[in-house]
Amino acid sequence: MLQHLKQSTFKANDVLMKAIGILKSHYFSIAGLCFLLFITSSLSSYLAFTLGDSSGSVVKGVLCFVFVTLFFGTQLVLIKRALLLAQGVEHTDFKDYIPSAKQFVNFLMGFILYSFLLGIVYLLSSTLSFPLLYLGADMETLSMEVNPFLTGLIMMFVLLRITFFPYFIVDKKHGLFRACRLSIALTKGNVINLLLLMLVVGTAYILQVSFEYLGYFIIAKIFSAVNTFVIIPSVSLVMAVAYHNMMKDYKGGDDPQLLKNII
């Protein structure tokens, strides 16, 4: 087990170092797309707060459609750009970055599917923890601490397993469910590697939240800047490099069965 953890650590380090190397050479294109995502999200929130009840439902519906299209479309462009860079392709035609309507719909449905799974897992966690009430546990503790913790723990594992479904949608042009099955098959035996990667890229955010909680706001702002200008642009490249490396070692089929790859 220790040897496997050691090998996993080296693999995670290799992926991280390669991603950082790519980011140094193509920082502005990756960071620019991340900044566009930030602007789109912020502008959407601002308009939603500003317009309030002053606009009709038609205007709100149009704005919602525009911002959803821009936000998720930009995410797909970012994934495509990161994938090409991970594969060594630095320049290609602009049209190659534009996602198709099918890719966009499958990508959007993936988030809806994850939200649906989140609701199911929360209900299951609530059911499993319900007997604790008869052992003297407080209802507020169960609803505010125990259930969210169990749900978050399970959904983190689910996220690790299906994390590459957008890459299969963009790279292989597969549908959502096939992309999810392939992601589960690809991540089989690689959960430790992915967990280590997430811990590394999430360290700055964890430190930011910790220093904010402790009241060290200047240090928290420093880590916030690191998150904004380094970590967030790095995440897409880290995942793209991990996907590219894992695909080279993937021995499974092109349309794997779900149940055979869950464990």
Q: Note the Cα 15 to chain centre separation in Å.
A: 17
Express each pLDDT in 210-251 by its tens digit. 887 788 888 877 877 777 788 888 888 989 998 988 888 888
- d(CA 239, CA 187) in angstroms, rounded, equals 12
- d(CA 18, CA 126) in angstroms, rounded, equals 42
Helix intervals (H) in 87-190 = 101-129, 139-141, 147-162, 165-171, 176-187
What pLDDT does 263 receive? 67
Q: Note the Cα 119 to chain centre separation in Å.
A: 18
Per-residue burial over 117-131, b = 16 or more CB atoms within 10 Å of its CB, e = otherwise: ebeebbeebeeebee
- d(CA 74, CA 19) in angstroms, rounded, equals 20
Q: Which residues are CB-neighbours of 246 under 8 A, at least 6 positions away?
A: 164, 186, 187, 190
Segments in the chain below pLDDT 50: 1-10
The backbone region for 215, taken as left when phi is positive above 0, alpha when psi lies in -120 to 50, beta otherwise, is: left
Report the SS3 class of residue 204. helix
> Tokens standing for 109?
């449905």
- d(CA 166, CA 105) in angstroms, rounded, equals 11
Q: Vertex 194, ends 190 and 195: CA angle to 5°?
A: 115
C-alpha to C-alpha distances, 254 to 164, 178, 219, 247, 251, nearest whole angstrom: 14, 9, 47, 11, 9
Q: Which of 248, 214, 209, 245 is nearest to 227 (CA)?
A: 209
What is the secondary structure of 50-82 as a DSSP string?
HHTTSS-HHHHHHHHHHHHHHHHHHHHHHHHHH
